[in-house]
Structure 1
Amino acid sequence: MVAVVQPRFGVWAVVYGSWGPFDHPDDPVDATWERNRALIVEADRLGFDSTLIAQHVVNPFGDELDQLETWTSAAALAALTERIEIIAAIKPYLVHPVVLAKQAQQIQQISGGRFGLNLVNAWFKPELERAGIPFAEHDERYGYGSEWLSVVRGLFSGERTSFQGKHFQVEGYRLRPTGTPPTVYVGGESEPARALVAAQADVWFVNGQPRENVARLLADVAARPRTGDPVRYGLSAFVVARETDAEAEAELARLWELAEAGKARWEALVADADPKAVMFQTFAKYPHIGTNGGTAAGLVGSYDTVARRIREWADLGIETFMLQFQPFEAEMRRFAGQVIPRVRELVPSRG
């Protein structure tokens, strides 16, 4: 039986400027540092537990659009916030593991132990190819990422690290100062992704999709051999919460109308994605607003409905909910004020 814990709630930093339709009249595209700083500082004050800063060098919806840089922003946010966990995504091909491990340790110190890194397999081909970085085949990228993470985790230990692999050769490397290692989050749902999760992840981020899909994925990973503590689970979701179910469904319908105007941008993004990326195969089956499964997670409805569905996800084993909204700031406040208290009543604190 799954032990139900109090859910943790996170927010996606608006690194693209928007997580929903680009033409929303109340949420103009704005990926500036100023907006993200204000948003995450407020999320910290409102009691959100985490923020995820996705990583791209250029905006996959169009390189004429702004794109927030992940790791410099993570360091700054670590210094500006008090309690919220800062999770920075990383694509292994972009930064050598020795350099990245040092950066992660430093942000962990700046934050006072509130830092995590989210290893993700690159899917946006132009980002690498236009920089002259080869875009390897899907499974080969996971092989690279597995070696990369092995080096990083070794360095996090504070011990001298040596590693001899296909992609990396490290001899007696040691980083100081050290401390509590950052939490390692891993994304991806393919077979090699699940193998990597079972072997090295602290937390697995799953994309929003029907519960029966997620139940199968969690059972698969839980059944794999593992050393150390069990894997913990997170879920991505786009929330539309209102006083009544009918009001929420009406708002979702409005978002779909707005999304139609930006359909060409989404189709262009998909055209530049790796067709072997499982998440895009899943997305094609379950239309949604938002990225990473968004509204396919089912968090659309009245405040009570959304709280109840979160409880159902928690019963399944989901601990961390990484959330998107639109317009982001206003809906984030609504969620904090109306939904989180209801969830706390449904899922009592342990002890």
Structure 2
Amino acid sequence: MARQHPLKGPNRLKLGVFSTNADGGLAITDVPERWLASWQDNLTAAQIADRAGLEFVLPIARWRGFGGKNRVREWSFETFTWAAGLAAATERIGLFMTVHVPLVHPLYAAKSLATVDHISQGRAGLNIVCGWNPKEFGMFGTPLVEKGYDQATEWLDILERLYASDEPIDHDGAYYHLKQAVSRPASLQAPRPVTMNAAFGGPGRDFAAAKCDYLFTTFSEIADAGKHVADIRERAERSGRDVGAYTVAHVVCRETRAEAEAYYERYAVTMADHAAVDEHMAGKKEFSQSHDRHAYDRYRQRFAGGAGSYPLIGTPQHITDDMVAIAGQGYEGIALSFVNYTQELPYFCDRVLPLLREAGLRQ
């Protein structure tokens, strides 16, 4: 029997670690302690997060990197098999898989996702993305899909039908054609594992509002972050649904604010892998709708520091205050990245989590 998924647990602000499966994590830097994303690194980071009571581990789906000195993110683990390995080595934490819809058939995804849900006893989750990088899709000989979220809707409908039906199904749609298809066992979670979508543009948010449980989005400043929550709630209400809003942040937590800011400057400015930052920003700006348009011009350090996510830089108290403010804007969770997860996550958990409990955001 499936247990309650961690994202449905009692903590007001859910926390997870993001992008441990990829070289560098979210940081595009040349510091010697940069994340190398070995399997042992991934295992250790997930177990640290699990023991600390964090709710989820979320990978990125990356098939090629962004060049630069370190060919950043070229090394990454495929997310279904990665999650299966972590599921067998953890006890409580939610384990997400990230899938590019046009590259993975829904019948294959249904079988793989259910496998992880059984291994983890109901802790699996699915991050559904349509893709934005034409170089990655070119590796597969597959073009970017113009109406990717129409395809994603059909894709997810098929997966849900496969789990719900005791008999083989036929499907004749715009993107998929299945004859007498079955996928057993179904997931332990019903009608399927929890789903999320990371989207900033209108089509992606409409898809999340209609089909997913959670939406990941970015913002430039905390004071303006609530408008994104209001937008997704309005879209979800039109579909008669309730969708939780999550965001992403990169963290430098130190004893003093000066120490944290100096390290942020070191890894994300002085020792940034500038060629890779340029390629990453150019591709995102042209093909992705993941950020405010002005963010590319104003926040280069944030792209080197954490793929354009919001920076949580400072002392444990300062970071707690920012998280309280983010929660106050309506966000239910934050996916966190670090330059080196195994070196930095224990300090964060030891120092920040108690302050979040005092603030009433976690039990």
TM-score (normalizing by structure 2): 0.85
Whole-angstrom CA distance in 2 between matches of 1:26 and 1:349: 31
* Other-structure match for 1:256: 268
User: Contact 1:44–1:81 at 8 Å: present in 2 too?
Assistant: yes
- Structure 1 residue runs without a partner (length 5+): none
Q: 1:176 aligns with which of 184, 204, 209?
A: 184
- The answer (yes or no) to whether the contact 2:66–2:73 under 8 Å persists in 1 is no
**CA–CA distance in 1 between the matches of 2:171 and 2:222?**
39
Question: 1:12 is aligned with what amino acid?
Answer: F
Which of these residues, 302, 326, 337, is aligned with residue 350 of structure 2? 337
Instruction: Single out whichever of 67-76 and 41-50 deviates more from structure 2.
Output: 41-50
Residue 33 in structure 1 maps to residue 46 in structure 2:
no
Kindly indicate whether the alpha-carbon contact (under 8 Å) linking 1:47 and 1:336 is maintained by their aligned counterparts in 2. Answer: no
- The corresponding residue for 1:290 is 305
What pairs up with 1:78-117 in 2 under 5 angstroms?
Answer: 78-117=87-126
Runs of 4 or more off by more than 6 Å in structure 1? none
Answer yes or no: is the 8 Å Cα contact 1:78–1:86 preserved in 2.
yes
Which residue of structure 1 aligns with residue 313 of structure 2? 300
What is the CA–CA distance in structure 1 between the aligned matches of 2:238 and 2:163, rounded to whole Å? 19
- Matching of residue 11 in structure 1 with residue 22 in structure 2: no
Letter in 1 for 2:258: A
Partner of residue 238, structure 1: 250
1:63 and 1:301 map into 2 onto residues whose CA distance is 26
User: Bigger CA drift: 85-94 or 207-216?
Assistant: 207-216
Whichever residue aligns with residue 144 of structure 1, its letter is Q
RMSD between superposed Cα atoms in Å: 2.5
Q: CA deviation at 1:175?
A: 2.9
8 Å contact kept, 1:32–1:66: no
Matched to 1:342, the amino acid is L
Task: Report the 3-state secondary structure (helix = DSSP H, G, I; strand = E; otherwise coil) of the residue aligned with 1:265.
Answer: helix
- Counterpart residue number, 1:218: 229
Q: Would you say the 8 A contact 1:190–1:278 is kept in 2?
A: yes
- On the 8 A contact 1:90/1:120 being kept in 2, the answer is yes
- Give the match for residue 5 of structure 2: none
More deviation, 62-71/124-133: 62-71
In structure 2, relative to structure 1, the CA distance for the partners of 1:255 and 1:349 (3 Å cut) is closer
1:57 matches 2:63: yes
Letter in 2 for 1:264: A
CA drift at 1:268: 2.1
Give the drift of 1:16. 2.5
User: Would the aligned equivalents of 2:59 and 2:98 in 1 still touch at CA under 8 Å?
Assistant: yes
User: Separation in 2 of the partners of 1:184 and 1:103?
Assistant: 14
Among all aligned residue pairs of Structure 1 and Structure 2, give the percentage whose two residues are the same amino acid: 27
Q: Which deviates more from structure 2 when the two are superposed, residues 40-49 or residues 331-340?
A: 40-49
> In structure 2, the residue corresponding to 1:16 is in which secondary structure?
coil
Cα distance change of structure 1 residues 64 and 204 upon mapping to structure 2, 3 Å threshold: closer
Deviation of the 1:42 alpha carbon: 2.4
Query: Paired residue for 1:153?
Result: 160
Does the CA contact (< 8 Å) of 1:205 and 1:235 recur in 2? yes
Shift of 1:247: 2.5
SS of the residue aligned with 1:299?
strand
- Give the counterpart letter for 2:201 in structure 1: S
Question: What are the superposed Cα offsets for residues 202-250 of structure 1, whole Å, 9 maximum, x if unpaired?
Answer: 0111125322443122111211245565101211100112223233222
1:131 and 2:177 are equivalent in the alignment: no
Distance in 1, Cα, partners of 2:73 & 2:63? 12
CA deviation map 1:4-25 (0-9, x unaligned): 9521110124233213243112
Query: C-alpha distance in 2, partners of 1:60/1:151?
Result: 33
C-alpha separation in 1, matches of 2:362 and 2:165: 34
Provide the aligned length of Structure 1 versus Structure 2: 341
One-letter code aligned to 1:107 = V
**Which residue, out of 26, 29, 43, partners 1:22?**
29
Moved more, 154-163 or 191-200: 154-163
What is the identity, as a one-letter code, of the residue corresponding to 2:306? T
Gaps of 5+ in 2: 1-9
